[in-house]
Chain A
Amino acid sequence: MKVLAVAYEEKDIPELIVGTRKFVGDSANIVLLAVHKSASSGDFNINVDKVYLAETSRPEEIVAAIVKLVNEEGVSLIVGEAYKNLRDAFSRVAGQLSMPLITDATEIKLGDDRLVVKRGFLSEKAEMIAEVPLPAAVLFLPRFVKAEGVEGGQPVVTRLEELGGDSKVRLVDVKPKEVGGANLEEAEIIVGVGRGFKSREDLEMAFELAKLLNGQVGCTRPIAADLKWLSEDHWIGISGKRVSPKIYFAIGISGSPQHMSGVQSSKIIVAINKDKSAPIFKQADYGVVADLYQFLPVFIKKLKERLG
């Protein structure tokens, strides 16, 4: 069984190797294609057959690299993690090579000529188990396994140059996204903010609450993607981060399934919303029906008093 593992971020390398060995078996022959940041900063002292480096993040070029390696190496499974650039690249590869692609997988199991996969469905209100024929492509949810116990090795490392890809799409400009330094996956307390906040300045209240509780601030998609009040590492939900704090405060958040799918493994959810019929209240342990502008200052003051 030959597997092509495509790493985008540096941390994908150990995760993909541990995950592939766990699900496919120790005898899997892994060919690693490291692109983007993983190509320049990854550690290649690892137990895989071969390593190819392609220092590009452009989907067009990643497609060219994958197709080249699939043809040359005779791969029957392509794996990666579900980042937007790889969603793009894998969808084209799957179309070009007529193979099934399962995205956001959490588990796979290998049969003779088939693959059984598990993934979230309907904003994680359900789980789907499906079977697809091999060869196939899979994009795992980031952090689908713990990257522990990667064995060392001395694979031959080859650099891929001149990938070309789709030359008709010309690059005009690249604008880096702001990085905020949030690390929500590790946070024990998360103060989530939504469109109930009227201005960027008002988020100060949420930061104050988070600081008081040693927690971090997270947000809904419109706050990060549309209004850009916070950087995207704060974005929680099906197209953002999945988090599992002890307390998730949902403040001025309506409770859309796309947002809630990212917080469903929270231990306790507290909702603060002025609309008593907001769907968030049915998905929360404790609800406060109030204007956040009236409640938050009092809640912060009380917490300060009691924390001493």
Chain B
Amino acid sequence: MNDIVVLVKASLNPDMVRVGSDGSIDLASIPLKISDIDRNAVEEAVRLKEVLGGKLYAISILTWGPVASRMKDLKLAVQEALAKGVDEAFVVADDSLTPGDQATTASAVKEVLSKEGIKPALILAGEATIDEVTSQVPGRLAALLGYQYLSFVRKLELSGGKIIAERDLEDYIEVVEADLPAVISVTQEINEPRPPTLLQIRRASRKPIKELRAGDLPGIQMPLRKILGIKGIQVTRKQVIIEGSSMEEIADKLIDALIQEGVLKI
């Protein structure tokens, strides 16, 4: 009961979205990458592993298919967590589960835990992932497992089997004390994740990644959500760089441009 689980998502990378002239978006062409705040969760999990002294697992459920062309990105995301100090990883990738939803992801994590006989003291996740930003999976998972849930934690201490956490809620900060086990979502501000070193990356290649399919997880919730359409939003900007031989000249030209646009009145 000293083990920790950290959730890692291979998210669609919003930096790499290309919108066609007809507003179309080809999801399959957008690469996946480890979601930014999952890095904070991994960093925190590695630190807390020293305190608890148990094993640290990563679990990743593939949301975006097709599996065949996504395995590389999924493994890269998980390998980053392994390089940072995670001991073992489980990935669930199955075309029948893609495109996934948050209900499926949370139930898949629960099923992996029960199949592998892992009873973690702590489950850490990022406050939101970069593709959908819903902040849903950790809360759902806590409800499914009957664990306590501490959301939006920006400061975390663990001592004598108790958690002291600062939760960054909507309009105030709440300091709470809780017992283990718990699910915790961390904010981007909780720490400064360091990229793994080359040596860590090399060592990680020997750590186990176990692949599971829907058939391995009997109680899994199939996706409830059906995506009917995805439309790209084209925002075209003029992208004019204002140049000049002095700051004065550039400033004057910028003021002129804004007047001409009708957004500045002088």
Q: Which residues of B contact A133 (CB under 8 A)?
A: 224
Q: Which residues of B contact A239 (CB under 8 A)?
A: 128, 133
B216 within 8 Å of A by Cβ? no
**Is the CB–CB distance between B139 and A287 below 8 Å?**
no
**Is the CB–CB distance between B228 and A129 below 8 Å?**
yes
Taking a contact as CB atoms closer than 8 A, the residue among B128, B189, B228 that contacts A130 in the complex is B228
B144 within 8 Å of A by Cβ? yes
Stretch from A15-23, A25-33, A71-79, A170-178 contacting the other chain:
A170-178
The CA of A298 and the CA of B248, in the complex, are separated in Å by 6
B1 within 8 Å of A by Cβ? no
A229 within 8 Å of B by Cβ? no
Known: A100-B224, A170-B178. A288 touches B14 (CB 8 A): no
The A-contacting residues of B in range 209-266, CB under 8 angstroms, are 221, 224-233, 235, 237-242, 247-248, 250-252, 254-255, 257-258, 261, 263-264, 266
A221 within 8 Å of B by Cβ? yes
**Is the CB–CB distance between A174 and B250 below 8 Å?**
no
**Is the CB–CB distance between B254 and A288 below 8 Å?**
yes
- Of chain B, the residue at the smallest CB distance from A94 is B140
A264 within 8 Å of B by Cβ? yes
**Is the CB–CB distance between A287 and B239 below 8 Å?**
yes
Nearest Cβ distance between residue B99 and chain A, in whole angstroms?
9
A85 within 8 Å of B by Cβ? yes
B43 within 8 Å of A by Cβ? no
**Is the CB–CB distance between A92 and B139 below 8 Å?**
yes
Known: A103-B134, A129-B228, A213-B264. A98 touches B103 (CB 8 A): yes
Known: A100-B224, A285-B240, A298-B248. A87 touches B135 (CB 8 A): yes
> Per-residue CB proximity of B128-156 to A under 8 Å, as 1/0?
10111111111111111000111110000
**Is the CB–CB distance between A91 and B138 below 8 Å?**
yes
Nearest Cβ distance between residue A244 and chain B, in whole angstroms?
12
**Is the CB–CB distance between B233 and A264 below 8 Å?**
yes
The CA of A178 and the CA of B226, in the complex, are separated in Å by 41
**Is the CB–CB distance between A88 and B135 below 8 Å?**
yes
B164 within 8 Å of A by Cβ? yes
The CA of A281 and the CA of B189, in the complex, are separated in Å by 27
The CA of A54 and the CA of B102, in the complex, are separated in Å by 28
The B-contacting residues of A in range 207-262, CB under 8 angstroms, are 213, 221, 225-226, 238-239, 246-247, 257-258
**Is the CB–CB distance between A295 and B250 below 8 Å?**
yes
Q: Which residues of A contact B227 (CB under 8 A)?
A: 128-130
Nearest Cβ distance between residue A303 and chain B, in whole angstroms?
6
Q: Which range contains the number of A residues in contact with the other chain? A: 35 or more
The CA of A4 and the CA of B5, in the complex, are separated in Å by 35
Q: Which residues of A contact B136 (CB under 8 A)?
A: 87, 90-91, 94, 101, 103
Q: How many chain B residues have a CB neighbour from A under 8 Å?
A: 79
Q: Which residues of B contact A225 (CB under 8 A)?
A: 168, 187-189
- Of chain B, the residue at the smallest CB distance from A272 is B254
The CA of A85 and the CA of B179, in the complex, are separated in Å by 21
B94 within 8 Å of A by Cβ? no
Taking a contact as CB atoms closer than 8 A, the residue among A83, A99, A103, A121 that contacts B131 in the complex is A121
The CA of A128 and the CA of B137, in the complex, are separated in Å by 19
Nearest Cβ distance between residue A233 and chain B, in whole angstroms?
10
The CA of A27 and the CA of B103, in the complex, are separated in Å by 30
**Is the CB–CB distance between B250 and A290 below 8 Å?**
yes
> Per-residue CB proximity of A165-188 to B under 8 Å, as 1/0?
010111111111100000000000
A68 within 8 Å of B by Cβ? no
Q: Which residues of B contact A123 (CB under 8 A)?
A: 14, 130, 133
Nearest Cβ distance between residue A218 and chain B, in whole angstroms?
16
**Is the CB–CB distance between B228 and A281 below 8 Å?**
no
**Is the CB–CB distance between B228 and A295 below 8 Å?**
no
**Is the CB–CB distance between B240 and A131 below 8 Å?**
no
Q: Which residues of B contact A290 (CB under 8 A)?
A: 247, 250
- Of chain B, the residue at the smallest CB distance from A298 is B247
Stretch from B48-56, B66-74, B77-85, B169-177 contacting the other chain:
B169-177
B22 within 8 Å of A by Cβ? no
**Is the CB–CB distance between B139 and A247 below 8 Å?**
no
Known: A91-B136, A125-B17, A173-B175. A101 touches B228 (CB 8 A): no
Complex A-B: 23 CB contacts under 8 Å: A84-B152, A84-B170, A91-B135, A94-B102, A95-B140, A95-B142, A100-B101, A101-B140, A103-B135, A122-B14, A126-B230, A127-B231, A127-B233, A129-B227, A131-B225, A170-B176, A174-B174, A177-B172, A225-B189, A247-B258, A270-B258, A298-B248, A299-B247
Which 10 residue pairs spanning A and B have beta carbons closest together? A91-B139, A95-B143, A95-B140, A173-B175, A123-B14, A298-B247, A257-B14, A88-B151, A302-B251, A285-B238
